[in-house]
């Protein structure tokens, strides 16, 4: 299937291929780091305590296994509809692909709403507006930005990603400097209850890795997608895992907890500055999720699984304008109507369920189709182990 769409004048338009490996890598890091560590770290510490770094390590392993599956699938099928297309290729069921797309829509909307709520909690410390007003301004603003052009919006997102990483690096450095000692042995649980806390914490920590899958939806706007998308996915997961382990270790050693443990590392004007960085970092995830959802709608419309008007591409910006507007409206509705505390757990469970389907789709494909000369390939044991790990994490949360 080609990557063209019908423009307003009846001409065939395609999404513009302008994203390089470096842009995609920082784009992926932008949504992973911003969506997770600034929002979910307090909840992970509540569950895992001093063993919080182990929770992030375990969540990173689970995310990494599925990330490898997404990498191979993106190399085989570089399509904007991402997971929905992979399920279609793997199971040959149009209905299952549509159900996957519906689940993705809900998962992305909830994840974006969670991120927006987290951003508002930071912004409220700086701007005296109501949470509803801040959320509306945030989502509408990023929806309009996503319409401007993929190179502009993805490059901005990647630039903010660099700022996010610098913020985490500074927080890690301050945490280690203020820690009374560097006794890392205290991070190892000494009881069954302690290990249950690690596993329970890893379920929440997994939210910090949601976002790597958004890279596959940019496949039709990436240069050399069969190579750049897989390496961007793997690189983003590895770097974010190392960052999470380092900053969570610094927080534990510095004995920082509460609702905003990262801000707790700073005082006075430094705390306000970090809150500004945190709000920008978290808000950046809203932009990425809107872009991801819009590409999902666009890709599904091209497959005639959604109404054709969603595949319209603007002739100037070469972005799916209608699909982006719909994505922004869904994210705004979820952000305003769904209570924040109910978002993270449901988003995790739904996303893990989608990951199981994607993992199993690759497993079926590997057993029935050749890899191809240019494809990124993983060992055949990876998909079933990835699926089993995701299922285990879902059930582990029930007993945490």
Q: pLDDT band at residue 387, thresholds of 50, 70 and 90?
A: very high
Say if residues 318 and 153 touch (Cβ distance below 8 Å): no
- Write down the residue that tokens 């997608």 correspond to: 225
**pLDDT for 38:** 67
The bridge status of strand 12-14 relative to strand 4-6 is antiparallel
- Write down the residue that tokens 């996503």 correspond to: 146
Q: What angle do CA 136, 244, 62 make, to 5 degrees?
A: 95
What ranges in the chain are assigned the alpha helix state H?
A: 21-48, 52-76, 83-91, 94-123, 131-148, 150-178, 192-205, 225-253, 269-302, 321-337, 343-368, 382-398
Which residue ranges make up each domain of the chain?
A: 18-398
Q: pLDDT band at residue 307, thresholds of 50, 70 and 90?
A: confident
Single out the residue of 225, 217, 177, 183 nearest to residue 300, CA to CA.
217
pLDDT tens-digit profile of 75-101?
998 887 888 889 999 998 888 988 888
Say if residues 346 and 110 touch (Cβ distance below 8 Å): yes
What is the chain's mean pLDDT, rounded? 81
What ranges in 189-311 are assigned the alpha helix state H?
A: 192-205, 225-253, 269-302
Distance CA 66, CA 384 (A): 10
Q: pTM for this structure?
A: 0.80
Average pLDDT over residues 201-213: 83
**pLDDT for 343:** 60
Look at residue 306 and tell me whether its pLDDT is greater than 50.
yes
φ, ψ dihedrals at 14, nearest 5°: -125, 160
- Output the six-digit token pair for 8: 């307003």
pLDDT tens-digit profile of 219-245?
888 888 888 999 999 999 999 999 999
Say if residues 324 and 146 touch (Cβ distance below 8 Å): yes
pLDDT tens-digit profile of 340-374?
555 666 777 888 899 999 999 999 999 887 766 55
Distance CA 108, CA 82 (A): 13
**pLDDT for 10:** 41
Average pLDDT over residues 376-399: 87
Distance CA 45, CA 208 (A): 13
Sign of torsion over alpha carbons 264, 265, 270, 273: negative
Cβ neighbour number for residue 372 with a 10 Å cutoff: 11
For the ranges 4-8, 41-45, 240-244, 294-298, which has the lowest average pLDDT?
4-8
Q: pLDDT band at residue 7, thresholds of 50, 70 and 90?
A: very low
Say if residues 393 and 61 touch (Cβ distance below 8 Å): no
**Considering the domain 18-398 in this protein, what is its CATH number?**
1.20.1740.10
pLDDT tens-digit profile of 12-22?
466 677 778 88
**pLDDT for 14:** 64
Say if residues 171 and 274 touch (Cβ distance below 8 Å): yes
- Output the six-digit token pair for 331: 């994210």
Look at residue 11 and tell me whether its pLDDT is greater than 50.
no
Single out the residue of 90, 96, 47 nearest to residue 72, CA to CA.
90
The gap between the terminal CA atoms of the chain, to the nearest Å, is: 45
Distance CA 89, CA 86 (A): 5
Question: What is the CA 146 to chain-centroid distance, rounded?
Answer: 17
Look at residue 211 and tell me whether its pLDDT is greater than 60.
yes
Distance CA 5, CA 204 (A): 39
């Amino acid at each position: 299937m080609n990557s063209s769409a019908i423009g307003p004048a009846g001409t065939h338009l395609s999404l513009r291929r302008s994203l390089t490996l470096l842009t995609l890598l920082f784009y992926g890091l932008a949504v992973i780091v911003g969506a997770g560590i600034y929002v979910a770290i307090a909840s992970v510490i509540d569950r895992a305590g001093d063993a919080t770094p182990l929770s992030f390590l375990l969540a990173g392993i689970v995310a990494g296994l599925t990330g490898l599956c997404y990498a191979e699938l993106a190399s085989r099928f570089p399509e904007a509809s991402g997971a929905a297309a992979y399920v279609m290729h793997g199971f040959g069921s149009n209905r299952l692909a549509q159900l996957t797309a519906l689940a993705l829509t809900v998962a992305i909307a909830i994840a974006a709403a969670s991120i927006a709520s987290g951003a508002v909690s930071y912004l409220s410390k700086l701007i005296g507006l109501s949470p509803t007003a801040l959320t509306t301004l945030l989502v509408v603003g990023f929806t309009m930005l996503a319409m401007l052009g993929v190179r502009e919006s993805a490059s901005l997102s990647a630039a903010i990603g660099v700022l996010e990483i610098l913020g985490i690096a500074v927080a890690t450095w301050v945490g280690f400097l203020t820690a009374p000692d560097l006794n890392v042995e205290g991070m190892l649980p000494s009881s069954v209850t302690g290990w249950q806390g690690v596993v329970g914490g890893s379920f929440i920590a997994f939210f910090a890795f949601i976002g790597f899958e958004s890279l596959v939806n940019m496949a039709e706007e990436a240069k050399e997608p069969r190579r750049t998308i897989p390496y961007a996915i793997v690189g983003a997961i590895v770097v974010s895992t190392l960052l999470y382990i380092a900053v969570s270790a610094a927080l534990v050693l510095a004995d920082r907890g509460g609702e905003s443990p990262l801000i707790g590392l700073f005082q006075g004007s430094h705390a306000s500055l970090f809150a500004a960085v945190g709000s920008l970092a978290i808000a950046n995830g809203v932009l990425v999720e809107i872009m991801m959802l819009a590409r999902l709608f666009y890709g599904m419309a091209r497959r005639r699984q959604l109404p054709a008007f969603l595949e319209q591409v603007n002739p100037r910006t070469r972005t799916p304008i209608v699909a982006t507007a719909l994505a922004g409206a869904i994210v705004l509705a979820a952000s305003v109507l769904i209570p924040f505390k109910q978002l993270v757990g449901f988003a995790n469970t739904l996303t893990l369920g989608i990951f199981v389907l994607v993992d199993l789709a690759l497993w079926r494909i590997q057993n029935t189709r050749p890899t191809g000369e240019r494809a990124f390939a993983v060992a055949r044991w990876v998909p079933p182990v990835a699926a089993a790990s995701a299922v285990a994490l879902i059930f582990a949360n029930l007993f945490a």
